[in-house]
Structure 1
Amino acid sequence: MRIPLRWAGLSVIAILIAISIGLLVWEPIAAERGTPPESDRVYQAEIIRSEYGVPHIYGETDADVSYGVAIAHAQDDFDTLQDVLAMARGRYGAIAGQDGAAVDYAYHLLDARGTAQRQFTSLPEDTQALFNAYASGLNQFADENPGEVKLRNLFPVNGEDVAAGFALRQPFFFGLDKVIGPLVSGEERNPEPGPPLAALPVHMGEAGNFAGSNAFAIAPEKSGDGVTRLVSNSHQPLRGGVAWYEMTVQSEEGWHFTGANFPGSPYPFLGHNEHLGWTNTVNRPDMIDVYQLVMDDAGEKYRLDGEWLPLETRTVWLGVKFGPFTLPVPQTVYRSAHGPVIKNDEGYFAVRYGGIDNLDNLDAYYRLNKASDLDEFRSILARMDIPSTNFIYADEAGNIGYFYNAAIPDRMEGPDWRGVLPGDRGDLIWGGPVDFGEIPQLVNPESGWLFNANNTPFSAAGEGSDLDPADFSPVLGIEIRSTNRARRAAQLLSEPGPIDRARLEAIKYDTGYNREGYVAMMLDGVAALDLSDDPGLARAQALLGQWDLSADNVGDADALALLMIRPFMGADYNNGDIPDFREELERSANHLMEHFGRLDVPMSDLLRLRQGEVDLPLDGGSDTLRASTLWDIDDDGRLSLRHGDSFIQFVEWEAGERVRSQSIQPFGAATTRPDSPHYTDQMQLYVDHELKPVRFWREDVLENAASRQVVSNRQR
């Protein structure tokens, strides 16, 4: 029987239509529908927004406040919150395509869901309640705003879902992607400890790619006016899943804190309460070990201490968005007693990292929010539940402190832990972190000041006060490298005299470079080039040779130097290859000539802070204390800042006075709401090096309130 061609054509069309429909709907159908928190608890919170739209969330209980945090944040940036929740459920590829699928692969590889399932219910009940309340607020906002939901079956979520997001993201802040990326591609691992290279998308934590942050604490005897000061100067992406969101929280259960969190958290990660405060900077200890497994011929078992054990193997399906379709892509993930396993052409490699299978940091951050003095604060850090990041601390009693917080694996002496370890030795599978007393920490140094700028902990308080690296085991893998920011900070803080508020502000906003390290190497390398064959490039060489070592928008060479510095800074920070001097000079000069027609273009014309219709000039550079670290190159050739100075906060404790603080963010409280008056209302202050008041005390909030709202799930 012959089928007429027209019917055959219709059959093909029908099949294609069926396939298209299937690709459109398979991912949300295949995805396991979430479940809301089991509790039918009623929550109520009051959200008062300041004149800058910063939410101040009040509730009878901490859980009420957490519920309100979710509502307030969703009002300002529900788009990003959904991205974070999609990552926490292994469905980000259905939103962000191939980049999102890479995150989903990491989600399955690290067993983020399994970690949350094993660990969440073992957390203290009040911590679980906090996360479930937060999930309830997100669910309510999604129900009340269905038109904003961008992925079917993403909601409802529960506390375990939120916890899975923590399990996924926390190891990327100390460089796990720098290890996973080369293993997946079969490249050789760099044995030197370093920050993430963003082998996975920046949504995972551009705390990694050119990681940054500055932190300062000044004791009252050094401040000149008896005031204890703490400066938080985090360098994060200005948008996205690891961009700061500012808030103040207060409950009748004693929780009163102001600071900032990342999307997907029910509490701030840094800031201050009445009694004490802290800020964080990324540190770079050796937190990750790689083992090569000895496999049987079938590739199904690995040898450990003379026994053959089955390699855990799972096939997972990643939803990858291509245009209107979401395509199912299978991936196999492996796991051994060591941890996640990656297979490449060279074999099977297991990865083990500090904080693996531990989610007690969810509780630790909550307890830090409510700590009342140095002893309590230090006892929480001593649990070693927060995997990494330096803590710079100050309090109302005038104490200042630096804690090189890191859950560094408790390794035995002898093996080469920076190389690839034999996977068949069980004695190399460490069980937990070193004791808290083994990591660098410094309280109330004689100098009266402390800082960190992503540098070695052995430069923190100045000559005569710094820790001695000889006192710490090399097995800890503590970094000994510096940054330009650290050199500048140490130099400026070490100058004689009190460090008062004005001097501290000048240090924080410093735009200078020291002619040391990669800066000197770059300038000397360019100066040594023979450019007699290219007069145009020789002019660029001469201009760079006249640079005044500042990114302050004053010198004629500032724009050229800004373009030149970043690749050399990145290579130094990430232990990479030195860029070619001529190629980088040519690239930078060509960019300026193509888009501006001149080499000596004012840097303020090149570097911009852009959001919506607002377009402002910027100062600062890559690795200056006034940080303008990463940018996007727009069609007009200008550099639109996307990573650098983000949340900045100055905190002050004066004897006999209540704590006071000021802060600023690059854009505003409502970063993805163009119709909001708080979409861009902090930009001019940010550009002008100014701060806005933090309304920490309720009476101050009420006097300056832009809006008040009571939210509840009572009638739901």
Structure 2
Amino acid sequence: MKRWAKWSLGIAGTLAAIAAADAIAFSPLRARLESVPEPAAAHDVVIRRDRWGVPHVKGRTDADAAFGLAWAQSEDDFATLEQVLAGTRGRLGELTGPKGAAQDYAYHLLGVRADVDRGYEAKLSPQVRKVVEAYADGVNLYAARHPEERHLPGLFPVTGKDIVSGFALTSPFFFGLDHTLGALVGDKPLPNDSNLGTEKGSNAFAVAPSRSADGATRLILNSHQPWSGPVAWYEAHVTSGEGLDMAGGLFPIAPFPLTGHNRDLGWANTVNRPDLVDVYRLTLTDGGKSYRFDGGTRPLGSRRVWLWVRFGPFVLPVPKTVYRAIQGPVIVNKAGAFAIRYGSIGEIAQVEQYYRLTKARNYDEWIAAMRMAAIPATNFVYADRTGRIAFFYNARFPERTSGFDWRGILPGDTSRDLWRRQLPFDAAPQLVDPPSGFLVNANNAPWLATQQGSNLHRTAYSPLLGIEENVTNRALRAVALLSAMPKVGADDLWRVKMDTGFDPRSAERHYIDAALRLDLRGSPDLARAQALLRTWDGTLDGHGAADALAFIVVKYGLRAIYHNEPPPPPREALADAVKRLTELYGRIDPPMTDLVRLRRGSLDLPLTGGPGALRAIYTHYGDDGRLVGDLGDSFIMLVTWDKAGKVRAQSIHQFGSATSHPESRHYADQAPLFARGALKPAWFGEQELAPNIVCTYRPGARRGC
């Protein structure tokens, strides 16, 4: 017994020592104590901050500007940058735990780093390599000089390849590859192709001079993203002596804006969900080491990887095996082995295409950049100083053959369904200068982009493309409102963008109508709620007594609607709303603006709009039972080219430019404007910008503002 006690104590001591060593090895303290070398290259760049804290970065070269942008973004949100960069190395799980480790698994499964290593010099121009390497150096300089903000040992210095890997890893997630991977890993049915996937969406609007009340051309960027994290928008303006002059929104590790405008043209992006993912069932042989193909067998590639996953203070290794077949990466689950082939497989030039778009000075140059087709999905709504507007259902469609059910699981033992090329850019739907004079996209099928008589025809496109057919309330509502306006002024367009209504044809209204048809005799509380809901005017503008109730009912059913799945029974939604409102207010008709809030630091502001509306506000339940905004309308920009072709812009961010610094005056200074549905100036030209600059400094110097 004494011997057993000694053994137990010895084992416990060993485990404690291992745990302590593990905690030290992966400790943020170690990250802060390690030495990170400062980059040797010098860059000629200044950062100018305007009255709203937005950085206007001016470099001698494009690479200089990227270096300065990296420093400015690091100042404002280094914590998120570090997380994104960890993901580009397959190390996100060390920071964020199992959820991050799921992305790390995708990183290894897709072979992202191998693709980048093979194609970095062959597929990327020397100029783009200079830009991404300079951006990496800007982050490295900040990391070297601010060790107290580092959390992950051994991450810095990062490289240009890390920046490119980030683009290559995340771009297929925008068209739903992550949902396919998640279903296969979880032994679940494959998701319905061509669906939105989450409540996230976007709006984009363009109005030509022919429809404009004052002869101007207008463009609204209105992407709906989470309000924090790796895909939250950040506003910046970058210029250089090499012609770069772009203002707009970007995500962490982007070395220039990804959407916005330059002096001559601009574009907005919205997520689309064409069917760009094909799944093949493999027939394994030789104990799972091979698979059948074209009458013979081929070896199944396999590689052991380790995912390092944080659990509280500890980071533990989790072994995984990743497989690969001729079609692409393979997931083996209880149902068998499945190979995955997707529209951007092996592609790493996304950052190259975005760079060329920012540098374009006319429509022909911009279209030449689009024909690269390196950006595998997302719609583009375009406008320029000449008055041209255009919509592009951008997608990297596989060149599929007929005779197979491409929306189902394909046979993996034949080369007849193994596509090897993508169709050219011009094969996708596009609508340039429609007679109607306006264009809209709100994550909907491309057949509804403008008013009747000016739209594309679905019969002109092969079903093998897998173009989505969903129509959102936002698209229905925007097209209906704009179609009713003979001329569209700036205020008219903004009112459409901020509209809180629901079209009678929308899935949301159909869900409400189903709740109104319920037989609720015997349930007096629900019957009273139904009677109140019957008075709802179809908007979430905060003025109606039924708005709070309608908001919760729509929210309850929307996730299923966005997944193209049957929504939960409307009785459940009504009961949930009654329970929540009664517990919180003792009534079911409180003001919606008391229920739906924007919270940031000490600010607690009322919001209108809601899930599925053009004024898109998505929420979670706060600790006090109220609905707190966390996704939807975020960075919005209204760009105008007047009759003479001169550009000016206005914008708004849901919080402010200092996205992770509560002590900064720019942490939440835009939130009151955002809550009211107002815009701030987005100064662009030197003449308007100069009087609104409050400080100028170089990377490495104290900001002082």
Could you say which TM-score interval applies, normalised by the shorter chain? Answer: over 0.9
Unaligned 5+ runs, structure 2: none
1:676 paired with 2:664, answer yes
- Which structure 2 residues correspond to residues 328-339 of structure 1 after superposition, within 5 A? 328-339=317-328
Using the alignment, how far apart are the partners of 2:500 and 2:315 within structure 1? 46
Using the alignment, how far apart are the partners of 1:710 and 1:638 within structure 2? 43
The one of 480, 483, 490 equivalent to 1:491 is: 480
Using the alignment, how far apart are the partners of 1:490 and 1:616 within structure 2? 30
Partner secondary structure for residue 660 of structure 1: strand
Counterpart for residue 451 of structure 1 = 440
CA displacement at 1:159 relative to structure 2: 0.6
- Percentage of matched positions with identical amino acids: 46
Conserved in 1, the CA contact under 8 Å of 2:39 and 2:140? Answer: no
1:574 paired with 2:563, answer yes
Give the AA of the match of 1:72: A
Conserved in 1, the CA contact under 8 Å of 2:640 and 2:649? Answer: yes
Partner secondary structure for residue 587 of structure 1: helix
Counterpart for residue 177 of structure 2 = 176
1:656 paired with 2:644, answer yes
Partner secondary structure for residue 350 of structure 1: strand
CA displacement at 1:6 relative to structure 2: 7.5
Unaligned 5+ runs, structure 1: 197-208
CA 568–248 in structure 1, closer or farther in 2 if over 3 Å, else same: same
Partner secondary structure for residue 402 of structure 2: coil
Using the alignment, how far apart are the partners of 1:557 and 1:61 within structure 2? 56
Counterpart for residue 478 of structure 1 = 467
Counterpart for residue 120 of structure 2 = 120
Using the alignment, how far apart are the partners of 2:687 and 2:75 within structure 1? 24
Counterpart for residue 285 of structure 1 = 274
Partner secondary structure for residue 79 of structure 1: helix
Counterpart for residue 17 of structure 2 = 18
CA displacement at 1:166 relative to structure 2: 1.3
Conserved in 2, the CA contact under 8 Å of 1:57 and 1:250? Answer: yes
Partner secondary structure for residue 398 of structure 2: coil
Counterpart for residue 458 of structure 2 = 469
- Which structure 2 residues correspond to residues 249-264 of structure 1 after superposition, within 5 A? 249-264=238-253
Using the alignment, how far apart are the partners of 2:613 and 2:3 within structure 1? 73
1:224 paired with 2:224, answer no
Normalising by structure 2, we get a TM-score of 0.96
Normalising by structure 1, we get a TM-score of 0.94
Give the AA of the match of 2:69: V
CA displacement at 1:316 relative to structure 2: 1.3
Counterpart for residue 564 of structure 1 = 553
CA displacement at 1:160 relative to structure 2: 0.5
CA 293–28 in structure 1, closer or farther in 2 if over 3 Å, else same: farther
1:701 paired with 2:680, answer no
Give the AA of the match of 2:526: L
Counterpart for residue 685 of structure 1 = 673
Conserved in 1, the CA contact under 8 Å of 2:39 and 2:137? Answer: no
Alignment root-mean-square deviation, CA = 2.1
Using the alignment, how far apart are the partners of 2:174 and 2:521 within structure 1? 46
Give the AA of the match of 1:130: V
Give the AA of the match of 2:551: L
CA 477–527 in structure 1, closer or farther in 2 if over 3 Å, else same: same
1:46 paired with 2:41, answer no
Using the alignment, how far apart are the partners of 1:143 and 1:579 within structure 2? 52
Conserved in 2, the CA contact under 8 Å of 1:49 and 1:708? Answer: yes
CA displacement at 1:685 relative to structure 2: 0.7
Using the alignment, how far apart are the partners of 1:581 and 1:195 within structure 2? 21
Provide the aligned length of Structure 1 versus Structure 2: 697
- Which structure 2 residues correspond to residues 532-611 of structure 1 after superposition, within 5 A? 532-611=521-600
1:365 paired with 2:354, answer yes
Counterpart for residue 230 of structure 2 = 241
Using the alignment, how far apart are the partners of 1:148 and 1:37 within structure 2? 16
Counterpart for residue 200 of structure 1 = none
Give the AA of the match of 1:644: G
CA displacement at 1:39 relative to structure 2: 8.5
Counterpart for residue 411 of structure 2 = 422
CA displacement at 1:35 relative to structure 2: 13
1:56 paired with 2:45, answer no
CA displacement at 1:10 relative to structure 2: 4.9
Give the AA of the match of 2:154: N
CA displacement at 1:193 relative to structure 2: 1.9
Partner secondary structure for residue 298 of structure 1: helix
Using the alignment, how far apart are the partners of 1:570 and 1:632 within structure 2? 13
CA displacement at 1:646 relative to structure 2: 0.9
CA displacement at 1:577 relative to structure 2: 2.3
CA displacement at 1:11 relative to structure 2: 2.6
CA displacement at 1:451 relative to structure 2: 0.7
Using the alignment, how far apart are the partners of 2:646 and 2:65 within structure 1? 23
CA 631–313 in structure 1, closer or farther in 2 if over 3 Å, else same: same
Conserved in 2, the CA contact under 8 Å of 1:450 and 1:461? Answer: yes
Conserved in 2, the CA contact under 8 Å of 1:37 and 1:132? Answer: no
Counterpart for residue 313 of structure 2 = 324
CA displacement at 1:195 relative to structure 2: 2.6
CA displacement at 1:25 relative to structure 2: 4.5
CA displacement at 1:656 relative to structure 2: 2.5
Deviations 1:544-589 (A, max 9, x none): 1111100000001111111111233322221112211111111111
Using the alignment, how far apart are the partners of 2:111 and 2:658 within structure 1? 33
Deviations 1:348-377 (A, max 9, x none): 001111111111111000000010111111
Partner secondary structure for residue 220 of structure 1: coil
- Which structure 2 residues correspond to residues 283-432 of structure 1 after superposition, within 5 A? 283-432=272-421
Using the alignment, how far apart are the partners of 1:668 and 1:322 within structure 2? 32
Give the AA of the match of 2:693: A
1:434 paired with 2:423, answer yes
Using the alignment, how far apart are the partners of 1:51 and 1:307 within structure 2? 68
Give the AA of the match of 1:674: P
CA displacement at 1:28 relative to structure 2: 8.2
Deviations 1:518-543 (A, max 9, x none): 23432232122222222112111111
Conserved in 1, the CA contact under 8 Å of 2:192 and 2:563? Answer: no
Conserved in 2, the CA contact under 8 Å of 1:48 and 1:701? Answer: no
Stretch moving more, 661-670 or 475-484? 475-484
Conserved in 1, the CA contact under 8 Å of 2:451 and 2:483? Answer: yes
Stretch moving more, 563-572 or 59-68? 563-572
Counterpart for residue 75 of structure 2 = 75
Partner secondary structure for residue 494 of structure 2: helix
Give the AA of the match of 2:182: G
Using the alignment, how far apart are the partners of 2:16 and 2:610 within structure 1? 53
Give the AA of the match of 2:484: E
Conserved in 2, the CA contact under 8 Å of 1:44 and 1:712? Answer: no
4+ runs deviating over 6 angstroms: 2-6, 28-31, 34-39
Partner secondary structure for residue 140 of structure 1: helix
Stretch moving more, 422-431 or 446-455? 422-431
Using the alignment, how far apart are the partners of 1:191 and 1:12 within structure 2? 50
CA displacement at 1:624 relative to structure 2: 0.7
Give the AA of the match of 1:488: R
1:211 paired with 2:212, answer no
Counterpart for residue 135 of structure 1 = 136
Partner secondary structure for residue 648 of structure 1: strand
Conserved in 2, the CA contact under 8 Å of 1:49 and 1:707? Answer: yes
Using the alignment, how far apart are the partners of 1:13 and 1:340 within structure 2? 41
Partner secondary structure for residue 57 of structure 2: strand
